[in-house]
Every structure is written in C-alpha cells, then in structure tokens.
Amino acid sequence: MGNVSRVCSAFLQNGKLNLIYMLISLKEMLKNAYTNKYAVGAFNCLSLENVIGAIKAAEELRSPIIIQLAEVQFPCAPIELMAPLYLNAAKAATVPVAVHLDHGESMETCIHAMRLGFGSVMYDGASLPFAENVRITREVVRIAKAFGVDVEAELGKVGNADNNENKKDPDIYTGVQESLLFIQRTGIDALAIAIGNKHGHYIATPQLNIARLTEIHEACEMPLVLHGGTGTSEEDFKACIHNGICKINVATAIQLGVTNHLRQYLQSNANPDYIEMKEEVVKATKEVVAYHIKLFESEGRF
C-alpha cells in the first residue's frame, strides 16, 4: 500500500458499517509526489469512455490519478454534465482520484466548479500583469479554502505549439523570484510554470529549460505543474519529475490516441458497430493513460 490515503466517512445501515469515500485532496496527492519524486498524471477526460479508460489504467497500475476538465472544453463536455460523472467515478475507484478544474479563465468559473463538487481548481491568470494575477488568484484561494478546495495557478507564458514564439526568449520562462513572491502572496497549493512547454500538438520536440525548473524548485519548495506535456521527450519528463514537477497535464495525447485508434478500427471493419466503437475509445484511453502513468513513475504508489 502506498502513502496516499483516502478520506472516508462512515455510517451505520441495517447494523452494518458502511464507508463513503470522499474526494482525494490534490494538495495531499501532490505532497506525496513531491516527497517521493514522482508525478501524478492529470488527464483531460471529455467523455464517459475517457473517464472509464483512465481510471481502469490507474486501478490496474495502482496509481493515483487526476481527472480534469478545462474551461475551453466546456462546449464539447459541459461541466454541469461532466461533474457528476467525474465525482461518481472518483468515489467508486479503488485508487486515489482527484477531480480538478483545469484552466479556469475567471473567478466565476472556479466558484462554479467548487459548487459542483470539484476538489481543486486552477485559476489561469498567466496572461494578466503580475499584480492583477496575484490579486485575483489570492481571492480565488480565499474562497476555495472556505469550500475546502485546493488551488493551482499559473505564472509565465505557456504558449501554443502551433505559434511561432521564440523558444529562446527568456521572457517566456517563469521567473524564480517572481514565483516565490507569487506563492507567498497568494497561498496557492501548486504552481504551473513555463519552461519552454506549450499546449497542443508539437511539430518538433520542445526544448525544456531544466536549469530554470531546478532554480524554481530549489527556491519555492512546493509542488510544480507542467502543462503541455504532449511531445515532450522521455528524458525531459524524467528530469522534470526529479526536479519538482509533481503534476503533468495530458490532453492532446489522449485525443490523438483515440482518433488514431478509431481510424484503424474503421479501416478494418466494413460494418462498424457503435457499441464496439465506444469500447475502442475506452481501450485507447486506457493505453495512453497507462503509458503516461509508467512514464511519470506513479505506478504502484497506492
């Protein structure tokens, strides 16, 4: 049994003791990862099949896992419909599962997710001036603590893989002293940083600034988060998780894995079956998630 615990409450029914599992604290999950130098995969699940496949992989590999939904994904996966799915799946799982809002674009969105039962939220004010990012993030933290919810925030410019930002521009990297001030002034539980990583499907393998990561890790001593993991080399992933990265977001890799898997299924089946296609989505999701769990060294942690 690993070190990540599950919180539960108990009640008596017909003379029997019943346990109700509660959501796992993101803060506790990442603290354990920080101490033991591994990362927990945070997987953006846009369907029932994604959720089933992700949790199946985590249960088979005995790994903690984070399932999350970004605000930009609400049009295709409405949060009001996904929240009960996420929460019920998390409570029924035999491994620790955290339910997280990814890239909340406003305080209102973060509060909405809290009210729906999400155990943690990310407020993304990275595009704002530093002082404004601090001000809003601090208010999100204040409200979240009243809900018993943990908060992730972002500092630095995590761009998109399909643009032409200069990878060597030092301004895109999260600053060391800036990170320390941000953490002190906001009270967040995890910080997403920019070290050359980008969201989306990379055309070329990104070059991460591991030296900057190490500096931030040594100065801040708190769980750090890597966004835009798809396309990153295994060598860089290993360097990240051994230098303070405790949560790694995986979204595009799932979408690509499912799309490629379904394309192969359709090419080999003249009369495709809808139920079989749903099962193939579960299978493809499970394969992608299992690969990343092993890569992030969270296998066997529970």
- Name the packing angle between helices 48-61 and 274-295 (round to 10°): 40
Contact 27, 16 (CB under 8 A): no
Q: What Rg value do the Cα atoms of the chain yield, rounded?
A: 19
State the distance between the two ends of the chain, measured CA to CA, in whole angstroms.
5
51 by DSSP, 3-state: which?
helix
Q: Tell me if residue 102 is catalytic.
A: yes
Backbone angles phi, psi at 113, to 5 degrees: -65, -40
- For residue 99, which amino acid is it? V
In whole angstroms, give the CA distance from residue 246 to residue 238: 11
CB 64 within 8 A of CB 58: yes
- Reported as half-sphere exposure (CB side, CA atoms, 13 A), residue 62 has a value of 8
> Is 78 strand, coil or helix?
coil
Query: Contact at 8 Å (CB) between 33 and 222?
Result: no
Q: Which residues are catalytic?
A: 102
